Amino acid sequence: QVQLVESGGGLVQPGGSLRLSCAASGNIFSLNAMGWYRQAPGKQRELVASITSGGVTNYADSIKGRFTISRGNGKNTVYLQMNSLKPEDTAVYYCNLRFFIGPGESWGQGSQVTVSS
């Protein structure tokens, strides 16, 4: 049984901060690289940050220096610390595997982040 549950989103003013959490149930998530994705209205889902099981991180240029991805000690919880938020960060944020072996992957409900003045 696998499950992805995102939480921590909300409404924040530009320059504010939020911390997203992802509860990932299943050995497949603890053993593999994980990523945070986001989808803004009318746009495709995009990868914004990733972290391997060994802790190596990567970030999209659009958020580099502002967001930090991390994993809990048990590797089944993934966090995204978001600082200096901008209106263009407004999107639904999802967590999932960084690499997909084949089609048919499952997605959680996501967490809405709204940055507005």
Over 90: is that where the pLDDT of 101 sits?
A: no
Residues 101/106/112/113 CA torsion (nearest 10 deg): -10
For the segment 52-67, the average pLDDT, to the nearest whole number, is: 96
Q: Please report which confidence band the pLDDT of residue 21 belongs to, taking 50, 70 and 90 as the band edges.
A: very high
Tell me if 93 sits within 8 A of 18, measured CB to CB. no
pLDDT tens string 7-20: 999 999 999 999 99
Over 80: is that where the pLDDT of 1 sits?
A: no
Q: Which two structure tokens, joined as six digits, stand for 30?
A: 């603890």
For the segment 90-116, the average pLDDT, to the nearest whole number, is: 95
